[in-house]
Amino acid sequence: MYKYDHYDQQMVDTRVAEFRDQAKRRLEGKLTEEQFKPLRLMNGLYLQLHAYMLRVAMPYGTLDARQMRALADIAERYDRGYGHFTTRQNIQYNWIKLEECADLLADLAKVEMHAIQTSGNCIRNISADHFAGAAADEVTDPRPYAELLRHWSSFHPEFSALPRKFKIAVIASDRDRAAMRLHDIGIQIVERDGALGAAFHVGGGMGRTPMIAPCIRDFVPLDQFVTYAEACLRVYNRYGRRDNKYKARIKILVHELGAEEYTRQVEEEFAHLLTLGIEPPAAELERIAAQFLEQLPESAELALDDTDPDFALWVSRNTQPHKQRGYISAVVSLKPVGGIPGDASAEQMRLMADLAERHGTGELRVTHTQNIVIPHVRQAELHALWTALEAAGLGAANIDTVEDIIACPGLDYCSLANARSIPVAQKISERFAASGKTAALGELKLKISGCINACGHHHAGHIGILGVDRKGVENYQLLLGGSEAEDVSLGKITGPGFDEAGIVDAVETAADVYLRERSDGERFLDTYRRIGMEPFKEALYG
């Protein structure tokens, strides 16, 4: 994976010094909270219900064992012994003191990590396919392109006060495991006539006005794609709405102008920017890409041991085919039944780091579904890996099932939330685990947000839940039919909402409609798309 050179290290060290100075001026009263807010937000520091929350960047979700151990140390030194992995492929700490924050950032910088631009109205941490570099179906590893964009977007002087936050995702296969078209810019690296290029999708997003990004250019040559991104951003910075923060994301601009007119303006700006020579040279992309090339030794291909049904189930649900013979990628579920989705203790982080070193290459990934991937596992060692995970309570065999729930922190932590998300997720996973229906339901992606900002991706769930406040009481709306994958779609609300107990029943009712109506091989989503909303409404409200 990518290693900092002295330039990269100097940039993060400088940012630590700058933040230390800003925090000092705030504590001395030289900066008002209003003035300090955008500065701390540019560094991932939010003031939440109980304390400061710090979001640490994990570029494209990739980290190594040493970094994972550093995150564990930070959890113990500055937090309460755990961290929360998020849908942005990041980690958040919920109990941070402002006085200690610069020291925490200095600890991160020692292991080539930072919290730069993990919040604020700027270009955020760039996400990618969590199986990048390992997936059998990719045309290339998308991460070098994401890393090049990371450099370009870090401290970009023109785009530090955008109308609103800006999220970019990069993938390189037709399977979309990064919700690419639900980003402000979604880039798919594609192959055409033997050459690679970037397909740009602009203006997607979730939040209170969900939109699927249209493709505005299906092939930007890779020696121009940073310049193209700059053109997309400049048009947005100049013309994105600033009169209403709820209409300020680029999706609204693209929608109001129309994709065609937005594209025309981008192309005009692009033609101008091409004359300025702002694109890094091919040699820079090659320098970065070389660091992602994984030279894996030969490994024996193995017929997996199916005599142990628990292991066989875990293999069938929690692994992904690898591009190299004899290897496989394993997903560690952070969704134990009744647990808090995405939470991991310091001990669990250290164990995952140890196992990644023992059975893989030491690399780990954070998924946008709040789980951890250990890529490059030698197939012969998969059973040993699973055994160790099981012993530590990390062996839940439930990836992409109804128990693998995405949930935002909700009203338990977040100052924006209207309703709690975590207890609802806990009750649903307990309900389905107890009823034994999880297996019968197969792939069923359930996503919960505690407010309309949609951090829990409820629009993109096969089943989505949105927590709202109704006259001071938590109320939960049910959505059906969303998807964040290559068959992207937005869920629709079934009808009136439910209370906390009622929403758990409602999810089970919807699941039962599927079990009753499905044809062979259909997933929940397929059945919903075939039969439509009516049978579900009938069962829920009839």
Partner 1 sequence: MSLLRFRTDEPADHPGITVDAFLEQSNSDAVRVEPGDDARALIPHLGRLRLIEVNFPVFGDGRGYSSARILREAGYEGELRAVGDVLVDQLAFLRRCGFDAFDPDQPLDPADAETALARWEEIYQPAADGRTPIWAKRHGAAA
289 interacts with partner 1 by CB under 8 A: no
Q: How far is the CB of 161 from partner 1 (least distance, A)?
A: 3
256 interacts with partner 1 by CB under 8 A: no
18 interacts with partner 1 by CB under 8 A: yes
Residue closer to partner 1 (CB basis): 152 or 314: 152
Contact yes or no for 340/330 (Cβ under 8 A): no
30 interacts with partner 1 by CB under 8 A: yes
DSSP 135: B
Contact yes or no for 182/146 (Cβ under 8 A): no
13 interacts with partner 1 by CB under 8 A: no
324 interacts with partner 1 by CB under 8 A: no
20 interacts with partner 1 by CB under 8 A: no
Strands (E), 301-352: 319-321, 327-332, 343-345
Q: How far is CA 193 from CA 92, 136, 187, 190, 497, in A?
A: 43, 20, 19, 10, 51
Question: How many CA atoms, within 13 angstroms, populate the side-chain half-sphere of residue 354?
Answer: 12
175 interacts with partner 1 by CB under 8 A: no
Q: In this chain, which of 55, 114, 217, 234 binds partner 1, going by CB under 8 A? A: 234
Q: How far is the CB of 246 from partner 1 (least distance, A)?
A: 16
The per-residue b/e assignment along 121-130, b for 16 or more CB within 10 angstroms, e otherwise, is bbbbbbbbbb
Burial class of residue 323 (count of CB atoms within 10 Å of its CB; 0-12, 13-18, 19+): middle
Q: How far is CA 121 from CA 89, 91, 159, 167, 451, in A?
A: 19, 19, 8, 10, 20
10 interacts with partner 1 by CB under 8 A: yes
Residue 19 CB neighbours (<10 A): 22
Residues near 17 by beta carbon (within 8 Å), at least 6 away in sequence: none
What mask of x and - would describe binding to partner 1 in positions 93 to 122, judged by CB under 8 A? ----------------------------x-
Q: How far is the CB of 473 from partner 1 (least distance, A)?
A: 35
Q: How far is the CB of 281 from partner 1 (least distance, A)?
A: 6
Residue closer to partner 1 (CB basis): 44 or 214: 44
21 interacts with partner 1 by CB under 8 A: yes
Q: Binding to partner 1 (CB under 8 A): which residues in 208-227?
A: none
Structure tokens at 348: 């669990």
155 interacts with partner 1 by CB under 8 A: yes
Tell how many helices (H) and how many strands (E) occur in the chain: 17, 20
Q: How far is the CB of 289 from partner 1 (least distance, A)?
A: 14
Q: Which stretch binds partner 1 (CB under 8 A): 20-28, 128-136, 330-338, 350-358?
A: 20-28
293 interacts with partner 1 by CB under 8 A: no
Q: Count of residues binding partner 1 (CB under 8 A)?
A: 39
9: left (phi over 0), alpha (psi -120 to 50) or beta: alpha
Please, what is the angle between helix 259-274 and helix 250-257, to 10°? Answer: 110
Q: In this chain, which of 63, 70, 91, 162 binds partner 1, going by CB under 8 A? A: 162
Burial class of residue 30 (count of CB atoms within 10 Å of its CB; 0-12, 13-18, 19+): exposed
Residue closer to partner 1 (CB basis): 64 or 269: 269
The number of residues making up the chain comes to 542
127 interacts with partner 1 by CB under 8 A: no
291 interacts with partner 1 by CB under 8 A: no
Q: In this chain, which of 29, 194, 277, 436 binds partner 1, going by CB under 8 A? A: 277
237 interacts with partner 1 by CB under 8 A: yes
Residue 259 CB neighbours (<10 A): 16
Residue closer to partner 1 (CB basis): 7 or 542: 7
7 interacts with partner 1 by CB under 8 A: yes
280 interacts with partner 1 by CB under 8 A: yes
38 interacts with partner 1 by CB under 8 A: yes
Residue closer to partner 1 (CB basis): 98 or 139: 98
Q: In this chain, which of 99, 158, 256, 310 binds partner 1, going by CB under 8 A? A: 158
Spatial separation of the C-alpha atoms in residues 156 and 352, rounded to whole Å: 35
Q: How far is the CB of 232 from partner 1 (least distance, A)?
A: 13
Q: How far is the CB of 86 from partner 1 (least distance, A)?
A: 25
Q: How far is the CB of 237 from partner 1 (least distance, A)?
A: 5
Q: Which residue, chain included where needed, has tokens 């758990």?
A: 504
283 interacts with partner 1 by CB under 8 A: yes
Structure tokens at 49: 């219900």
Q: Which stretch binds partner 1 (CB under 8 A): 15-23, 356-364, 434-442, 527-535?
A: 15-23
456: left (phi over 0), alpha (psi -120 to 50) or beta: alpha
Q: In this chain, which of 76, 98, 103, 160 binds partner 1, going by CB under 8 A? A: 160
5 interacts with partner 1 by CB under 8 A: yes
Q: In this chain, which of 3, 33, 157, 297 binds partner 1, going by CB under 8 A? A: 157
Pairing mode of beta strands 446-449, 463-470: parallel
Q: In this chain, which of 27, 195, 271, 278 binds partner 1, going by CB under 8 A? A: 278
316 closest CA partner among 324, 334, 328, 301: 328
290 interacts with partner 1 by CB under 8 A: no
421 closest CA partner among 169, 107, 87, 158: 87
294 interacts with partner 1 by CB under 8 A: no
Spatial separation of the C-alpha atoms in residues 453 and 507, rounded to whole Å: 21
Question: How many CA atoms, within 13 angstroms, populate the side-chain half-sphere of residue 492?
Answer: 11
314 interacts with partner 1 by CB under 8 A: no
List contacts with partner 1 (CB under 8 A): 5, 7, 10-11, 14, 17-18, 21-22, 25, 30, 35, 38-39, 121, 151-152, 154-162, 234, 237-238, 242, 272, 276-278, 280-281, 283-284, 287
